[in-house]
Amino acid sequence: MHKDSFLAHLPLLIISFCFSFVVAAQEPDVQKGKALFNANCAACHKLNKRAVGPALAGVSAKYDKEWLYSWIKNSTAMVKSGDAQAVAIYEEYNGSVMTSFPQLSNEDIDNILAYTDYTPPATAAAAQPVTAVAQTESSLSNDLILGVLVLVLAALVVMLFLVTKTLKQIAAVNGIEVVKQEKPKRTPLWKAYAQNPFLVFVTVVFLLLSSAYVGYSYLMQVGIDQGYMPIQPIHYSHKIHAGANQIECKYCHSSSRVSKHSGIPSLNVCMNCHMNIAEYNGEEDLEKGYTKEFYTNEIKKLYKAVGWDENTQSYTGETQPVKWVRIHNLPDFVYFNHAQHVSVAGVDCQKCHGPVEEMEIMYQHSSLTMGWCINCHRETNVNIKDNAYYTKIHEELSKKYGVEKLTAAQMGGLECGKCHY
């Protein structure tokens, strides 16, 4: 009877197993959804905060899934069709048109929605007390070992004192007198030195030469600010922008292509990206205090300076000037043209400013002295590839000097009038 019952239910069990397998296979993938969200949505949307578009956390509970499929794949068509929800969103965001994503399949959209609905389990907080207890136990064991070592050292000192005292008592009982030997009188060192005229002469000459060298070295460092690293009113990390994000130097310092000065970028240049980037989500340096909260607060300073309202995604008109501290500052009698070096000569920014892509805080890398500039002109070959500016003069001077490559010095880079008008 049991066998007949099992056989009767066998088809149902097989169907249930297959159905559960299919459901499991179609389960949305949160990790794939996160990757798709970052690639397609993160430029305009955040999970828990309004940006260019609305916050997307829990969006699947607000709208029908079929409606979301149509909206994400072609929002413009839905607005034109007069869909009430689509028109309401379009008007709420001042007629901003959402980018259509026809390449996304329904499965891709399900993965994205799974990511926006996902709430991470609170396991990290529970693990912290365990870590704290382990650290406390480790600290206690270290303190215990240190205390034992101190007690052992104290016991050795006491034993040495007792042994010395006992030996003195034994010597006294046996009539042994401990006599301290008197040291023979010697001529004081300073007196012997003063009585030697040769040593006095050598010392005086040495002191005079040393004083002249120290004074000359000090005077030659006046106005040289190598290593100067001021704190700016808004922390700007070249390590993140030029290093991690690989932003071209001349994107921000655009005037370096055509002007004598590279210039400090306008805050509007910063807002080209930070209209949409209101929070920092990169790597942290906890040891130095560079946390996500730290960088995010610096972005808030930028918003306050330009008068940007995150909630309305608009400018308020209330601005505050930012008093940047200049780092690289040449004397007034020195002429240096960025465009000549950057655009014409093709010199990399790092040649003078050092590895800026590794600098958390910008500082003056090179001495920028006259000698430093002259050495660079003597050692640097002129880049003539695809550079018609130098073609003719390079051919003539190459024949004159009998070389294939010319340095900046050989092309007149050491003439006084080049830098001192």
Q: Looking at residue 62, which CATH number applies to its domain?
A: 1.10.760.10
Are 51 and 312 in contact, with CB atoms under 8 Å apart? Answer: no
Q: How many domains does the chain have?
A: 2
Domain contains 159 = no
Domain contains 266 = no
Q: Which of 395, 393, 399 is nearest to 412 (CA)?
A: 393
Which of 8-17, 143-152, 298-307 is the least confident region?
8-17
Domain contains 230 = no
- For residue 173, what pLDDT is reported? 82
The percentage of the chain sitting over the pLDDT mark of 90, rounded to a whole number, equals: 38
pLDDT tens digit sequence for 262-298? 989 999 999 999 998 999 988 999 999 999 999 999 9
Determine the Cα–Cα distance for residues 311 and 328; give it in Å rounded to an integer.
Answer: 38
Report residue 172 CA to chain centroid gap: 74
Domain contains 375 = yes
Domain contains 89 = yes
Where is pLDDT greater, at 49 or 17?
49
Which residue shows structure tokens 């929002």? 75
Label residue 375 by pLDDT band (50, 70, 90).
Answer: very high
Which of 160-174, 215-229, 326-340 is the least confident region?
160-174
Among residues 117, 147, 177, the one where a domain terminates is: 117
234 pLDDT above the threshold of 70: yes
Compute the average pLDDT of residues 20-33: 65
Among residues 94, 117, 140, the one where a domain terminates is: 117
Work out the end-to-end distance of the chain between its first and last CA atoms, rounded to an integer number of angstroms. 111
Determine the Cα–Cα distance for residues 3 and 312; give it in Å rounded to an integer.
Answer: 70
- For residue 2, what pLDDT is reported? 46
- For residue 369, what pLDDT is reported? 92
Q: Please give the DSSP secondary-structure letter assigned to residue 285.
A: B
121 pLDDT above the threshold of 80: no
- For residue 22, what pLDDT is reported? 42
Domain contains 415 = yes
Q: Which of 325, 276, 318, 322 is nearest to 302 (CA)?
A: 322
Domain contains 190 = no
- The residue type found at 197 is P
Are 226 and 368 in contact, with CB atoms under 8 Å apart? Answer: yes
Find the helix or strand (DSSP H, E) in which 308 lies.
strand 308-309
- For residue 177, what pLDDT is reported? 72
Domain contains 307 = no
Range of the domain at 403: 369-421
pLDDT tens digit sequence for 59-84? 888 888 888 888 898 888 888 888 88
Which of 48-52, 128-132, 202-206, 243-247 is the least confident region?
128-132
Among residues 76, 98, 117, the one where a domain terminates is: 117
Compute the average pLDDT of residues 302-312: 93
